[in-house]
A and B are shown apart, each in its own frame.
Chain A
Amino acid sequence: MDQSLEPGDQGLNGVAATAGVARSARVGHRGRVTSRLRLWQLALPATLFLSVYFFAPLLMLFWWSVRAPEGRGLTLGNFGTLLSDPFFFQTLGLSLRLSFEVTAVTLFLGFPLAYLYTKVGSSLRLVILFVTLLPLLTSAVVRSFGWIVLLGKQGLVNQGLMSLGLTDSPVRLLFSLDGVRVALAQVQLPFMLLPLINALEQLDPSLEPAAVSLGASRFQAVLRVTLPLAMPGMIAGAILNFALTISAFITPAMVGGGSFIVMPTLVYQSAIITLQWPRAATTALILLVVAMAVVWTGAAVTRRWQYGPRQGGANA
């Protein structure tokens, strides 16, 4: 079930990966034609693989999205039907909101943790990595079952709240957006943490002491020196988290139940339950375009952040 829907996010990552490879080949070896050719050949297996397993299915997605729901012929009617439907936009809006919120939560949790990681010894580093990566080692179904046990009316969280006297009756956590946010943030934390650690470790360790020696408090030093310099890592993590959340299918279905639906659920219903493939393809394509627009905006902001201010400074 997840395999049939996950290609969406792998696809986004795939595009990012291909773009990255192409860019580094261009930038790193400008002017050396022969070595550039050889580097290009290194990308050949991946290109071949992506052509078969990503670009060909993507073409089929385009093809299905313009096919008439009944009978033969080509049409843009599928897009018209969906784009004139307020419920479709409501679902798209919910998916976008959920993705931004989960990204914000992982950023909020991830930055302090990544910062801590760079300041502690190697054994504690291992513990942080192990604990954050652990959820990735279990299947989404098992993990979701765990959340049912934890978040349910009779679950550990509610029992704890009630025995502490914080609430009289169980709080509704399971089958709510809150539950889905928590569950998604947990499993996706590593995708925020790892780029952040990568970004923080590249910083010159003498920057913070320098800021402190010039009169900043330690907090100010982190806030005004480290945090801005870690921005590329934050945006990389945010892009990953956004792409993963907007295409997440199992967690919203298991932890969210049937009380609200997100875009991947709509795609699943049309593709698998009702066999309305043109509708499924159109829904998936619109989701893909919206997600890519957000990701590209994020990438553009990163480039701006990395090169823009510096160039501006040089000119001034």
Chain B
Amino acid sequence: MSGVTRRAVLIGGAAGTAALVAGRAWGQQKELIANTYGGGWEQGHRQAIAEPIEKKTGAKVILISMLANELVARVKAAGGSRPPVDVALVDDGPFLTAIKEEVFLKLPMDKLPNAAKLYPQYKPKEPYGIPIGASVIGIAYNAKKLKTVPAAWEDLWKPEYKGKVGLCTPASTLGTVALLSFAKAKGGGETKIEPGFEAVKSLLPSVGSIASSPAALQTLLERGEVDIAPMWHSNTLLLKGKGTGMEFVFPKEGGIAGLAWLAVTKAGNLDLALAYLNQGLSPESQTLLATPPFFFGPTVQGIKVESQLRGVVPAAPEDLARLIQIDWTKINPARPEWINRWNREIKV
């Protein structure tokens, strides 16, 4: 008995381990793995990009849900071995980090004909990715509960909003940009964040809750825990669609655009990955992604959005002119210290 058992146990153990390791090695021929941030992102990218590509090429597109920071960390951790995705969706900060960590491929832009129509402001400085959608950070507020419509960042300090303001920690892009916006409103900037921290501290008596992620902040706004907060336009419009009374305003100082980038990892499958990127920039995909419930700002010129979304979803040159630019090449090196300082100093 012992001989058989021993062999069975050994083979079983080895096979189990091997199966766990090998996992996705089979059938990688015509298969593309891309990440989204889940929710509306996944739904939008499935309909607008994945399904058309599957139809055109016969390949299978698998969308997994993974946030940008985690994705970059995992691709970096994969080192020489196969990264978790072929195509990565990341936002500005992590995109630049990933380029610095050399985890993305330099793209042959001549194989991406649709990229020719990108807005000049949105064009990548180096060809390591293409912007698939623009989101704007501005002020979300509940019009059903608040009498005064906010117009500028400094309106958050108004006494009538006391206890109703929500914030997000700088561990998220949203929180980082909000902190920087406060700094800019008070005479600071990317290399001078001090005024931002002073502003946040003076705002604390008005702050009802600090969320650890935009998703958590969205829940707080939806549940009425807070009624006004720096927020992404897409989350705000999603809440508005649910009948919460949520409205979005560009602050007087200007909204800040965040771009979502598609990049290709060193996972092979380059042709399929390029087809995916090019499809994402096609007029039909960009139009679909700009409609409810997705609301992603088009990155290529000539896309029309529905009239009620005009002025909220950035889709025309005049909308772009109302955006202020921030410099992630300066933010990224300073960000660990901002997060560190926030951990220590900002407590509700």
Binding site for B on A (CB under 8 A): 1, 4, 38, 41-42, 44-45, 48-49, 52, 87, 91, 145, 148-149, 152-155, 174-175, 253-254, 256-261, 266, 269, 271-276
Check B169 for interface membership: any CB of A closer than 8 A.
yes
Docked Cα-Cα span, A87 to B339, in Å, equals: 13
Q: Is the CB of A175 within 8 A of B348?
A: yes
Q: Given the known A-B contacts A41-B9, A272-B70, A275-B76, are A259 and B339 also in contact in the complex, defined by CB atoms under 8 Å?
A: no
In chain B, residues 229-265, which have Cβ atoms closer than 8 Å to a Cβ of chain A? Answer: none
Binding site for A on B (CB under 8 A): 2, 6, 9-10, 12-14, 16-17, 67, 69-70, 72-73, 76, 97, 101, 167-169, 171, 175, 208-213, 216, 219-220, 223-225, 335-336, 339, 343-344, 347-348
Q: Choose one: B9, B17, B76, B210; the contact of A259 (CB below 8 Å).
A: B210
Q: Is the CB of B339 within 8 A of A44?
A: no
Q: Is the CB of B9 within 8 A of A45?
A: yes
- 10 tightest CB-CB pairs across the interface, nearest first? A45-B13, A258-B169, A258-B210, A274-B336, A258-B212, A259-B348, A253-B212, A272-B73, A175-B209, A272-B69
Docked Cα-Cα span, A31 to B17, in Å, equals: 33
Docked Cα-Cα span, A1 to B67, in Å, equals: 9
Docked Cα-Cα span, A49 to B20, in Å, equals: 10
Q: Choose one: B2, B69, B101, B336; the contact of A276 (CB below 8 Å).
A: B336
Q: Given the known A-B contacts A38-B2, A52-B17, A175-B348, are A269 and B339 also in contact in the complex, defined by CB atoms under 8 Å?
A: yes
Q: Given the known A-B contacts A87-B343, A259-B209, A274-B336, are A174 and B13 also in contact in the complex, defined by CB atoms under 8 Å?
A: no
User: Closest CB-CB distance, B306 to chain A, in whole Å?
Assistant: 31
Q: Is the CB of A273 within 8 A of B69?
A: yes
User: Closest CB-CB distance, B328 to chain A, in whole Å?
Assistant: 14
A273 CB contacts on chain B under 8 angstroms: 69, 171, 335, 339
Q: Is the CB of A154 within 8 A of B224?
A: yes
A261 CB contacts on chain B under 8 angstroms: 343
Q: Please, which residue of chain A has its CB at the minimum distance from the CB of B14?
A: A48
Q: Choose one: A38, A45, A257, A276; the contact of B212 (CB below 8 Å).
A: A257
Q: Is the CB of B73 within 8 A of A148?
A: no
Q: Given the known A-B contacts A44-B13, A174-B225, are A254 and B336 also in contact in the complex, defined by CB atoms under 8 Å?
A: no
Can you list 5 A-B pairs, Cβ within 8 angstroms, ordered by A? A1-B70, A45-B10, A87-B343, A259-B209, A269-B343
A interface, over-half SS: helix
Q: Is the CB of A271 within 8 A of B73?
A: yes
B interface, over-half SS: helix
Q: Given the known A-B contacts A272-B70, A274-B336, are A257 and B343 also in contact in the complex, defined by CB atoms under 8 Å?
A: no
Q: Choose one: A49, A52, A145, A271; the contact of B219 (CB below 8 Å).
A: A145
A272 CB contacts on chain B under 8 angstroms: 69-70, 73
Q: Please, which residue of chain A has its CB at the minimum distance from the CB of B71?
A: A272
Q: Is the CB of B168 within 8 A of A258?
A: yes
User: Closest CB-CB distance, A123 to chain B, in whole Å?
Assistant: 38
User: Closest CB-CB distance, A72 to chain B, in whole Å?
Assistant: 16
Q: Is the CB of A148 within 8 A of B223?
A: yes
Q: Given the known A-B contacts A273-B171, A273-B339, are A44 and B10 also in contact in the complex, defined by CB atoms under 8 Å?
A: yes
B225 CB contacts on chain A under 8 angstroms: 148, 152-154, 174
Q: Choose one: B213, B223, B335, B347; the contact of A274 (CB below 8 Å).
A: B335
Most B CB contacts (10 A, CB to CB) among A48, A254, A258 go to A258
Q: Is the CB of B210 within 8 A of A257?
A: yes
A266 CB contacts on chain B under 8 angstroms: 343
User: Closest CB-CB distance, B90 to chain A, in whole Å?
Assistant: 13
Q: Is the CB of A275 within 8 A of B211?
A: no
A1 CB contacts on chain B under 8 angstroms: 67, 70
Q: Is the CB of B216 within 8 A of A257?
A: yes
Q: Please, which residue of chain B has its CB at the minimum distance from the CB of A48?
A: B13
Most B CB contacts (10 A, CB to CB) among A45, A91, A276 go to A45
Docked Cα-Cα span, A113 to B340, in Å, equals: 43
Docked Cα-Cα span, A263 to B245, in Å, equals: 38
Docked Cα-Cα span, A287 to B210, in Å, equals: 26
B16 CB contacts on chain A under 8 angstroms: 45, 49
Given A44-B9, A148-B219, A257-B210: 9 more A-B contacts, CB < 8 Å: A42-B9, A48-B14, A145-B219, A153-B224, A175-B348, A256-B212, A257-B212, A259-B209, A273-B69
User: Closest CB-CB distance, A61 to chain B, in whole Å?
Assistant: 13
B209 CB contacts on chain A under 8 angstroms: 174-175, 257, 259
Q: Choose one: B13, B14, B101, B175; the contact of A275 (CB below 8 Å).
A: B101
Q: Please, which residue of chain B has its CB at the minimum distance from the CB of A271?
A: B73
